[in-house]
Amino acid sequence: MRPPVRGRRAAAPRRDEHVRRHERLVMALACAGSFVVILDATIVSVALPDIRGSLAFSTAALPWVVNAYTLAFAGFLLLGGRCADVFGHRAMLLTGMSVFTGASLLGGLAVTPVTLLAARAVQGLGGALLAPVTLSLLTTTFTDPARRARVLGTWSAVGAVGAASGPLVGGALTGWAGWRWVFFVVVPLGALALIGAARGLPRRDAPGRRPRLDVVGAALATAGLTGVVYAVTHAAVAGWTSLEVTGALTGGLALLGVFLLHQARWSREPLLALGIFRSRAVSSGNLVMLLHGLGFFASPILLSLYLQDVHGWTPLRSGLGYLPVGVAMFAGARAAGPLTVLLGPRRAVVTCCLIGAAGFAGVAFFLGVDGSYVLTVVVSGCVFGFGTGAAFTPITVVATSGVPPSRNGLAAGVLNTVRQTSGAIGLAVISTVSASAAGNWAAAHPGRGGADAPHALAHGHTVAFLVSAGCVAAAALAAALVMPRSHRPLRRARERTPGTAGSPQGRPRAGR
């Protein structure tokens, strides 16, 4: 009689538990990275008046506390995505989180405007190195389509919490502890993430030949994206026809044109392999993300300005007033995974974008000087919050599907670049539309006050939300027309994909 094979039976549960622990660690690290990057983009805005008084910022320099982060973040995202592929997830997560956390500490300790602006720019660089690797780490670790959709839904939900809680947390910290804690608050979380990544993520196997980094391409892409984002963010102040804006926009677009030519013809190992866009999933996913971002990312600022300028609310009260929308975004992001599994990615994108567009149209319909907060924000705002918050997950599933593991970081960097750039462009364009509509209303009603009168501002916000509704509806139409058709909803594979922590980068190894 053969003796019982106890070793194998005991080893299998231990290995499964090891894999599950690794997956939980990957999920925690990806969510922590996404949370701090998104939180830091919004938490500083409410602290600007206190920062100006403490560090003696000039009126012209103060917006650069926000813009320095935005420009560096957008400019270096493509480089961050490629670095994740070249140097590995562990190395780039440690590097990005170290740079981000160190710059946050430096920002909290700043005693001059120059120091704070430098810290914000370095924060943006750290965020650009960190953001693509959080997404790439998830897409290479969770290879089962249904499980990946659920995991990305959780990741998106954490990002939604970061975006919605930024103004509220920033206002509370500024009022209770001082503006420096707006920067200090992310330091403990960053330190914990660094410890977890250093101890829990496996080192990358040494490749036979490590790909070279396209330094020329990185410089062209960074300079071009920085020029474009600077132009669109500065247009609201200087105007679209100013020489400064048109020069930066023209120069940025020219540099991006040279960058594409360099990638297609001159670079031996391009930063952006243009062949990635031959994938219908990648190209259509990024197109839909562009249209969705144009409409969505201006909405928190538009609603906050409406509550403050038209209804006279304080910044803290308007932050609390936006909280129901933030809760709806979180609920939508949490529901996105199951919806994507049930409907398939393409149908889920169309459905969620249509819900978001309906919510934006509802805000435009109910908004006014005497508009009801319940109907405008709580009802209509929660509808667009749920729909737009849920749309990110299926868009991400499509835009990162069918990409080989060696290009996952690149796909994540491209998607994050499109998302960030669309937000900057959308905010600039829709803010300009709102101001123009308010001015036109004031000109047509000379006896009702100027463009800063409540009725004029309300009209401008109404037009702005109608434009947002049109952009998100266009995203739904684009998804229906150009995204790959899902022949059936996502199903969990009957057999577990070998090494669910699916790549050499994400798979835990026995004995390490």
Query: What's the mean per-residue pLDDT of the chain?
Result: 83
Task: Return the C-alpha torsion angle 50, 51, 56, 57, nearest 10.
Answer: -120
For the record, the structure tokens of 313 come out as: 């609310």
Q: What is the three-class DSSP state of 402?
A: coil
Q: Which ranges in 311-453 belong to alpha helices (H)?
A: 315-321, 323-343, 345-366, 373, 382-399, 408-444
Q: Is the pLDDT of residue 446 over 60?
A: yes
DSSP collapsed to 3 states, 68-134? HHHHHHHHHHHHHHHHHHHHCHHHHHHHHHHHHHHHHHHHHHCCCHHHHHHHHHHHHHHHHHHHHHH
Q: How far is CA 329 from CA 153, 377, 393, in A?
A: 11, 13, 12
Q: Is the pLDDT of residue 97 over 90?
A: yes
Question: How many other β-carbons are positioned within 10 Å of the β-carbon of residue 213?
Answer: 16
Which tens digit of pLDDT belongs to each residue from 308-327? 778 888 766 777 888 888 88
Instruction: Decide if 332 contacts 382 (C-beta within 8 A).
Output: no
Instruction: Decide if 27 contacts 137 (C-beta within 8 A).
Output: no
Q: How far is CA 165 from the centre of its chain?
A: 14
Rg of the chain (C-alpha set)? 23
Find tokens 């038209």 and name the residue: 310
User: For residues 205 and 112, which has the higher predicted lDDT (pLDDT)?
Assistant: 112
Which tens digit of pLDDT belongs to each residue from 489-512? 555 443 343 333 344 344 444 333
What is the mean pLDDT of the segment spanning 67-76?
Answer: 84
Least confident interval from 218-227, 342-351, 495-504: 495-504
Which tens digit of pLDDT belongs to each residue from 225-272? 888 888 887 776 777 888 988 999 999 999 999 999 998 888 888 888
**pLDDT for res 475:** 96
Burial degree of 228 (CB within 10 A; 0-12, 13-18, 19+): buried
Instruction: Decide if 225 contacts 78 (C-beta within 8 A).
Output: yes
Least confident interval from 140-144, 149-153, 181-185, 444-448: 444-448
Q: Is the dihedral of CA 382, 388, 392, 394 positive or negative?
A: positive
What is the mean pLDDT of the segment spanning 293-318?
Answer: 80
The pTM of the full predicted model, rounded to 2 decimals, is: 0.79
Question: How many other β-carbons are positioned within 10 Å of the β-carbon of residue 494?
Answer: 5
**pLDDT for res 114:** 93
